[in-house]
Amino acid sequence: MGEAISNYAKRILPSTDLDRLLEALQQKGYTLVGPTVRENAIVLEEIEGAEDLPVGWTETQEAGSYKLSRNGSEEYFDFASGPHSFKKYLFPPRLKLWQAKRHRAGFKVEQENDQAPSYAFIGVRSCDLCAIEIQDKVFMGDSYVDPVYKERREKAFILAVNCTKPGNLCFCSSMDTGPKAKSGYDLAVTEQLKESEHVFLIQAGSEKGHELLEALELADADEGAVEFENKQLEDAATSMGRFLDTHKLPSVLKNNFEHPRWEQIADRCLSCANCTLVCPTCFCHTVEDTTDLTGDVAERWRQWDSCFTGDFTYFAGGSARASTKSRYRQWLTHKLSTWTDQFGTFGCVGCGRCIAWCPVGIDLTEEAAAIRATDLVSD
């Protein structure tokens, strides 16, 4: 995705100066959101400074398994995707859209005008950056713009982290969504821990980022640091734990709607919706109308929904997708096939969250590969 490569100069930020950068963001009025350890996982929360980052923590992931552990490293970003993505800030799980009050014979609608905070997202990996780019198309890509998303998105500052530690479930190399952040960030860093020094190679990707960086008055990066960064990213690109063959994948899946594999997945799938809710690109939601006891006040709320629920396709007479087979097939073919027709990219960024957080370890790379391997309409 996005081929734009920044022309701004690369600088060196000593790791001990990370707080200077974070404080500069706070002084500009940003609320910091970044990775931190909570409840046996590295989650995304509001943070106060560098001390809240998961220094010395890492994790190992398998299908249906996420194991947090201490590794004693001094690194700040030595881990792969966790259970949260930044979508929870741009596309909140539950939100009041408006309320209406009875007024004479009719009613009066009052819009919700709460101002969203300006978030600075700290430590956004390239996969998640691409996921934000995908959601930008969904929520702001045509004439129907979502004002909630737009406000939050436009106010946000993005501090990306080039990913040098892909995990066992990562496959951004397959999806062309990483490990290097190509565009869409304000600042991007590459963490470098060598024997004698611990630094961040830092580069602006926008005017906003450039201004902030200039104010920090950092030294230019030398050739050695840039070469080391190239090597780090080359190594990362070839150490993905998962692989997805995307060659003609949309048509392979379209040709295999009646593949027996769908039924086999349905035997395992719990239809619990976890995959869709951890996915950083899934955008489905529902609206719910509520009233107070007197019926004088009504509210409309928006909340996350999932194509794995029966209510999702419920209309008079029942659910259009009543079986788990039809729900899983809908989800996987949307991500890896019909999304390309709808939005021009895959709906998957290779972050591996759906694999780790599936309670029974269903792996979409394995399922897509199994269908390709026994393609019913191979050409």
Our finding on whether 5 is near other proteins (CB under 8 A) is no
Our finding on whether 345 is near other proteins (CB under 8 A) is no
Selected from 303, 342, 374, 378, the binder of other proteins by CB under 8 A is: 303
What is the x/- site pattern for other proteins, positions 252-291, by CB under 8 A?
---------------xxxxxxxx--xx---------xxxx
Selected from 65, 73, 239, 251, the binder of other proteins by CB under 8 A is: 65
Q: Decide: 91 and 305 in contact? Cβ < 8 Å.
A: no
Our finding on whether 46 is near other proteins (CB under 8 A) is no
Selected from 72, 114, 195, 295, the binder of other proteins by CB under 8 A is: 295
Our finding on whether 310 is near other proteins (CB under 8 A) is yes
Nearer to other proteins, 142 or 267 (CB): 267
Nearer to other proteins, 21 or 356 (CB): 356
361 contacts: CB under 8 Å, gap ≥ 6: 62, 63, 64, 65, 355
Our finding on whether 311 is near other proteins (CB under 8 A) is yes
The tokens for 132 are 């934000």
Nearer to other proteins, 195 or 267 (CB): 267
Provide the minimum distance between the beta carbon of 103 and other proteins in the complex, in angstroms, as a whole number. Answer: 12
**Long-range CB contacts (within 8 A, 24+) of 41-46:** 41/66, 41/68, 41/82, 41/83, 42/68, 42/79, 42/82, 43/82, 43/83, 43/84, 44/82, 44/84, 44/85, 44/86, 44/88, 44/89
Nearer to other proteins, 141 or 361 (CB): 361
Nearer to other proteins, 22 or 269 (CB): 269
* Residues at the contact surface with other proteins, assessed by CB under 8 A: 38-41, 43, 64-68, 82-84, 88, 93-94, 102, 267-274, 277-278, 288-296, 303-304, 306, 309-311, 324, 356-357, 359-361
